[in-house]
């Protein structure tokens, strides 16, 4: 590899790392401080990226919101792929999915759901990003319904049950966070597992 190509490759890697750091910092900041309460300067500082460089990657705050929404969709799809590799049994995969969601309960109790927060907070200033973030719930609900369908459940019933599972998860997060009571979310996960695995 020539020196010029090597330098270009290093610049590309550094740029990719900065872009990823900005999106991760924005996701965390928007979740914990709110979209309206977060400036691009604060995101840049949290990411360790000079403020002037931010605009090279994201021209506006709305662009950054879209990148965060894309991150959530990608994380949801990756979670589904990981769970799919764990078992050949659809109910086993659903049980594993609930287990993965349960693993994040401490942060959800502390700060609420980052995806739900994005859907709400992005809506006025970055509506396309709000819709993109909401797609995470569509992906998750569709996956659960498809797995339930593989057990022989009728499509309409599978979709209704999938929605109930996602609603229980989100409701458990919202109420557990609001009340500061971990058992509320723990109970929601138990109901979710029953709904996912019972005939």
First to last CA, the chain: 59
Measured CA to CA, the distance from residue 21 to residue 10 in angstroms comes to 16
pLDDT, position 1: 62
Which of 116, 108, 111, 101 shows the shortest CA–CA distance to 191?
Answer: 101
- Predicted TM-score (pTM) of the model is 0.90
**For the chain, domain boundaries:** 1-59, 61-197
pLDDT by residue, tens only, the chain of 199 residues: 665 565 555 555 665 789 999 999 999 999 999 999 999 999 999 999 999 898 889 999 999 999 999 999 999 999 999 999 989 999 999 999 999 999 999 999 999 999 999 999 999 999 999 999 999 999 999 999 999 999 999 999 999 999 999 999 999 999 999 999 999 999 999 999 999 998 8
Measured CA to CA, the distance from residue 89 to residue 141 in angstroms comes to 18
> Dihedral sign, CA of 153, 136, 129, 169?
positive
Query: 3-class SS at 184?
Result: helix
- 69-101 per-residue burial string, b: 16 or more CB within 10 A, e: under 16: bbbbbeebeebbeebeeeeeebbebbbbbbeeb
pLDDT, position 8: 52
Phi-psi region of 113 (alpha: psi -120 to 50; beta: other; left: phi over 0): beta
pLDDT, position 175: 97
Give the architecture (CATH level 2) of 61-197. Answer: Orthogonal Bundle (1.10)
pLDDT, position 124: 96
> Dihedral sign, CA of 116, 119, 121, 122?
positive
pLDDT, position 15: 58
Measured CA to CA, the distance from residue 35 to residue 31 in angstroms comes to 8
pLDDT, position 16: 75
pLDDT, position 4: 55
Measured CA to CA, the distance from residue 82 to residue 64 in angstroms comes to 27
pLDDT, position 160: 98
Q: Was domain 1-59 assigned CATH 1.10.10.60?
A: yes
């Amino acid at each position: 590899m020539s020196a010029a190509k090597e330098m270009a490759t290093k610049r590309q890697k550094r740029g990719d790392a900065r872009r990823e750091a900005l999106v991760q910092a924005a996701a965390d900041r928007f979740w914990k401080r709110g979209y309206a309460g977060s400036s691009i300067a604060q995101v840049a500082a949290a990411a360790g990226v000079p403020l002037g460089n931010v605009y090279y990657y994201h021209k506006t705050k709305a662009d950054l919101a879209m990148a965060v929404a894309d991150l959530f969709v990608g994380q949801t799809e990756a979670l589904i792929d990981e769970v799919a590799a764990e078992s050949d049994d659809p109910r086993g995969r659903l049980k594993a999915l609930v287990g993965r969601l349960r693993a994040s309960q401490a942060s959800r109790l502390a700060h609420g759901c980052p995806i739900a927060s994005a859907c709400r907070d992005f809506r006025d200033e970055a509506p396309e990003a709000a819709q993109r973030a909401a797609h995470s719930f569509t992906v998750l609900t569709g996956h659960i319904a498809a797995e339930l369908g593989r057990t022989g459940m009728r499509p309409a019933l599978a979709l209704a049950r999938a929605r109930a599972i996602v609603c229980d998860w989100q409701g458990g997060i919202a109420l557990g966070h609001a009340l500061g009571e971990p058992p509320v979310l723990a109970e929601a996960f138990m109901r979710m597992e029953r709904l996912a695995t019972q005939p």
